[in-house]
Each structure stands twice: as C-alpha cells, then as structure tokens.
Amino acid sequence: AETLGASAAENGRYFGAAIAPNFLGEEGYSSTLNAEFNSIVAENAMKWDATEPSPGQFTFTGGDQLVALAQEQNMEVRGHTLVWHAQQPAWVQGLTGQALHDAMTEHIAGVAGHYQGEITSWDVVNEAFEWDGSRRQSNLQTQLGDGWIEDAFRAADAADPDAKLCYNDYGTDGVNAKSDAIYDMVVDFQARGVPIDCVGFQTHLSSDSDLSSYQENLQRFGDLGVDVEITELDVGGSGSAQADVYRTVTEACLNVDRCTGITVWGITDKYSWRGEETPLLFDGNYQKKEAYEAVLDALNAA
C-alpha cells in the first residue's frame, strides 16, 4: 500500500504516532497524521500532570480531543501513561505511604475509567527499572515497595477490563539486564495471576545502535504469550544509516507474530523531543525522508 498505516494494516498491524493536540491546527501536521497513520498516542496529554493537576480534579481536554480525532479517522488509540516517576503533578510528589498508594489507584481509576472502551492498550507503568535490572528508586518505589507495579496493573484492569495492559520502558532494545528484569516480572505476574497483556519497547535509538538481539528479545516476550509493541520509536541521525535502523526495527516487528504495531514518537523532526537529532520519518517541512521509504518498503515486502 501507499501509506504507513495502510501497509501496516495489510500485515495485521498498526502504525502510529505520538501527537500533541496543540499542533493539530497546523495543516501539514494534521494532513500527514490523517494520511499516514492509523494509531495515535498522546505525547503528553494523558499523563498524570496533565490529567489530574490537583487531587481528584480531572481534566481530559487534550486527551479527549485526540480520542475524538482518532474515532473520526478510524484510528486506534494507545494510552500513555497511567503511572510514571516523571511528570507527576507537584501534589503527588509530596505524598507518602498509603496516601501515595491511594492517589495512584484513584488516578488510575479516574483516567482509565474515563477512557474505558476507547483505548486499545494502556502503558500502565512506565520506566520503573534501571539499566542493571534493579527497581528505579522513585517516590513510588521508595514509598510503596515492590508491590506498587502489580497494584497499578490490578487497578487498571478494574477500570478498563478490555484494554490491553502494558509495561513500557526504554533501553530494552536487546537481551540485557533491564529487559531480563522485565521478562522476569512478566513471568512472575503470569504465575501469580496479575493482569499483564503487553510489553512496550520504547526504542529510542541512534544510527549506531546495536540491534543484534532486538528481534530475539521481542520474540522471547512474545513466547510468554504477551503482545509486544514498539511504542516510541525514533532514531537519531540521517540518510541511509538512519534508514537502515528504521528498516531493521520494522522487519523485527513484522517477524514476530505477537508484535502488534509500531508507534513513532512524533511526526516531524521540528517538534521532536530530540529535534537536533532529526530522529523522525518526516522533516521539518513534512517531506518524507529516506527513513520513511525504508519503513514503507519493509512493510510492503512482508
């Protein structure tokens, strides 16, 4: 097919982008989104600081706008993210013990409940592990202990039983200590009946990233019976080196049955969080880059 979304769909997959509602008024931004992608995720609009700026006071304006657009355009919506150590509102950062636990579960109930039935998969917990596989010593971890992750998944399952529930992280682009720790967590959750359906691999890469065990890593998670999703793909660099990395990641997803789709972390280089690294598929003028052609070719070759 002629577009990323249509070509991914021919392989039973989605191709999505992270979106900021404030750019939707820009013609190139909206037209590229609508033409090329069949899934969206909010880059920031569904995070804790955006959705619950004061305790129990929920604001869904940006997220609702994205969900409405997705429904109008027949796109899937990923949810990002219910619980994370970053982008917590100030009032959460000061909480301790049971008050923090209650705030977390009430936040999940409020947000996942609001979007119940509208989200294909939720990043329930984001970035809870360190490179060495130990738990990140966030306020959640130090205040609540190891059980906070499973408590978050149980709360999300109660709020939206039909959404797939994902654990999402970066630096998991191969078999390594961090992906091992996440793998062990999935095995443990499955053994104890804690709901988990998917693992998100953010896949923030550079042109020289080592992808020698990228596909093998996705496959071992798929073999556990969870979906795997490429959730925040971007690749610093340019030209054929950048295109090659994009192609490798796309092929890896297509080669793994349980890889349900790919999301790039933005549309255009000009609004990327890594802007100077020009990591996306469209340049600042919404022109298709060599990386775009590599991804499209890979999707159509499968």
Q: Which of 100, 101, 93, 96 is nearest to 53 (CA)?
A: 93
Give the shortest CB-245-to-ligand G3I separation in angstroms. Answer: 17
- Tell me whether residue 202 or residue 250 sits nearer to ligand G3I (CB atom): 202
Element (H, E) at 90: helix 90-93
Please say which residue, 115 or 251, places its beta carbon nearer to ligand G3I.
Answer: 115
Is 232 part of the annotated catalytic residue set?
Answer: yes
Residues in binding contact with ligand G3I, number by CB under 6 A? 9
Distance separating alpha carbons of residues 68 and 116, to the nearest angstrom: 14
Binds ligand G3I (CB under 6 A): choice among 273, 275, 284, 300: 273
Helix (H) or strand (E) holding 231: strand 227-236
Which CB, 43 or 118, lies closer to ligand G3I? 43
CB of 20 to ligand G3I, least distance (A): 7
Q: Answer for the pair 246, 295: CB distance below 8 angstroms, yes or no.
A: yes
Half-sphere exposure of 87 (CA within 13 A, CB side): 18
> What character string, x for contact with ligand G3I (CB under 6 A) and - otherwise, covers 128-167?
----------------------------------------
Min dist. Cβ of residue 202 to ligand G3I (A): 5
- 11 or 202, CB closer to ligand G3I? 202
- Comparison of 85 and 288: residue with beta carbon closer to ligand G3I: 85
Side-chain-side CA neighbours of residue 68 (13 Å): 8
Least distance in angstroms from the C-beta of 257 to ligand G3I? 26
210-to-151, 176, 204, 206, 248 alpha-carbon distances in Å: 34, 12, 12, 9, 11
Task: Give ∠ CA 8-13-16 in degrees, rounded to 5.
Answer: 75
* Residue of 118, 150, 232, 277 marked catalytic: 232
Residue numbers 66-105 binding ligand G3I by CB under 6 A: 86-87
Total Cβ atoms within 10 A of residue 283: 15
CA distance 258 to 166: 13
For ligand G3I, the binding residue among 7, 38, 39, 44 (CB under 6 A) is 44
Structural contact between residues 16 and 262, judged by C-beta atoms closer than 8 angstroms: yes
Burial class (CB in 10 A: 0-12, 13-18, 19+), 56: exposed
Least distance (Å) from ligand G3I to the CB of residue 85?
Answer: 10
Q: 209-268: which residues touch ligand G3I (CB under 6 A)? A: 232
Among 202, 203, 260, 263, which residue sits at the site for ligand G3I (rule: CB under 6 A)? 202
**CB of residue 195 to ligand G3I, shortest distance in Å:** 22
Phi, psi of 2 (to 5 degrees): -95, -15
Report the residue closest to ligand G3I, judged by CB. Answer: 273
State which of residues 36, 43, 157, 269 lies at the interface with ligand G3I (CB under 6 A).
Answer: 43
Q: Which residues are catalytic?
A: 232
- Which residues sit at the interface with ligand G3I, rule CB under 6 A? 43-44, 86-87, 126, 170, 202, 232, 273
